[in-house]
Amino acid sequence: MRSLLLSWQFWAIGSAVFAALTAIFAKVGIEGVGSDFATFIRTIVILVSIAFVLQVTGGWQAPSTVSPRSWLFLVLSGLATGASWLCYFRALKLGNASQVAPVDKLSVVLVAAFAAIFLGERLSPVHWLAVCMIAAGAIMLTIRI
């Protein structure tokens, strides 16, 4: 069990499950609520939840222990997350969850491309084929037949 909790695959699957639940819960929750205000409520819940986890696990860290470079990129990541959430909730307000979520998951394709361009990560031709298949699948799910 311990090795399972230390595997990235376990946590990645958890992320996918909770991301799927996020779409379903959000689609129901934004009925009669502005998408930006819904994002605000979600953000408060996340802040309280993470503070609780940090308290329970003893994970609090002095801000001075974080390097300026890490601060910069964590702030940029936070801004990107906020922008992503605002766009996601607006898209859910306007569209079907079964179409919005796959387009949102095009982030998988963009992460692969950005990781190759900016981080120097190398994917095999088979992996690039899989990335293209993800893109094609996401696009196909948006088409109404």
The predicted structure's pLDDT at residue 106? 93
The predicted structure's pLDDT at residue 45? 96
Pull the structure tokens for residue 60. 């609090």
Q: How confident is the model at residue 2 (pLDDT cuts 50, 70, 90)?
A: confident
Instruction: Give yes or no: residues 81 and 124 share one domain.
Output: no
Instruction: Give yes or no: residues 21 and 64 share one domain.
Output: yes
Query: Can you give the pTM of this predicted structure?
Result: 0.81
DSSP secondary structure letters along 2-49: HHHHT-HHHHHHHHHHHHHHHHHHHHHHTTTS-HHHHHHHHHHHHHHH
For residues 3 and 80, the answer to whether their CB atoms sit within 8 Å is no
Compute how many other C-beta atoms are within 10 angstroms of the C-beta atom of residue 80: 10
The predicted structure's pLDDT at residue 49? 97
Q: In this prediction, what percent of the chain has a pLDDT beyond 70? A: 100
Instruction: Give yes or no: residues 17 and 54 share one domain.
Output: yes
Does the pLDDT at position 75 exceed 80? yes
Instruction: Give yes or no: residues 78 and 112 share one domain.
Output: no
How many folded domains does the chain comprise? 2
Q: How confident is the model at residue 1 (pLDDT cuts 50, 70, 90)?
A: confident
* Contact residues for 6 (Cβ-Cβ < 8 A; gap 6+): none
Range of the domain at 134: 105-145
Instruction: Give yes or no: residues 41 and 84 share one domain.
Output: yes
How large is the average pLDDT for residues 71-91? 94
Does the pLDDT at position 144 exceed 90? no
The verdict on residue 99 lying in a domain is no
The verdict on residue 56 lying in a domain is yes
The verdict on residue 119 lying in a domain is yes
Pull the structure tokens for residue 46. 């996340």
Pull the structure tokens for residue 118. 């900016």
Instruction: Give yes or no: residues 64 and 118 share one domain.
Output: no
Does the pLDDT at position 3 exceed 90? no
pLDDT in tens, 15-65: 889 988 988 999 999 999 999 999 999 999 999 999 999 999 999 999 999
